Amino acid sequence: SQNPEADISGNDNINEGVATTYTLDTENFRTGGTIYWRIVDSSNNVANSDFDAATGTAVVTETGTNSFGNRTGETSITITATEDQLTEGTETFTLQLYRDSSYSTVVNTINGSTHSIKSITVNDTSQNPEADISGNDNINEGVATTYTLDTENFRTGGTIYWRIVDSSNNVA
């Protein structure tokens, strides 16, 4: 019997926060066969903080046979890059396919001898954090003064660092 194989098709570029589906065309998998997948960063670490789910499984459904008599089928994987509100710039990850839950036996490409992978570039859709300050422009020594910060694109619990400077931008 021949080893199960799969090809991945779908978008090369995705946006944070948008569910994206990839189709896996398979060969030599039976209906109910499982493909284990994971998404890794450039250091081959599972990208748990960058995706809502960075590992999972896909169950194959046979759709027929090809001209060589091999079973053909398909399944799909849906991923979502985490909309983290962090301005990180564009990042590139790799979707990898395996035949086992320990991620040690790779699924090769159809008619190929290389690991079935898909490079995915995630477009950073977050916006730079902004803050506007309001309060008195003139204060008297020894009198407490309150200023209000109105923010956009900050995470809950985020920290804003501040300092008081004089007209020459020297820390007062």
Q: 6-15, 26-35, 163-172: which range is least confident on average?
A: 163-172
Percent residues over pLDDT 70 in the chain: 98
**1 pLDDT band (50/70/90 cuts)?**
low
Over the stretch 65-123, which tens digit does the pLDDT of each residue have? 999 999 999 999 999 999 887 788 899 999 999 999 999 999 999 887 789 999 999 99
- Full strand arrangement of the beta sheet holding 91-98: 13-15, 117-123, 91-98, 34-40, 55-59
Cα-based distances in Å from 55 to 6, 15, 37, 74, 164: 17, 19, 6, 19, 47
Closest CA to 79 of 8, 153, 26: 8
**155 pLDDT band (50/70/90 cuts)?**
low
Q: Where are the beta strands (DSSP E) in 61-169?
A: 61-65, 71-80, 91-98, 117-123, 130-134, 148-152
Q: What is the pTM of this model?
A: 0.75
What would the mean pLDDT of 28-56 be, rounded to a whole number? 96
Q: Are strands 5-9 and 71-80 parallel, antiparallel or unpaired?
A: unpaired
pLDDT attached to residue 63: 97
Cα gap 1→145, rounded to integer Å? 79
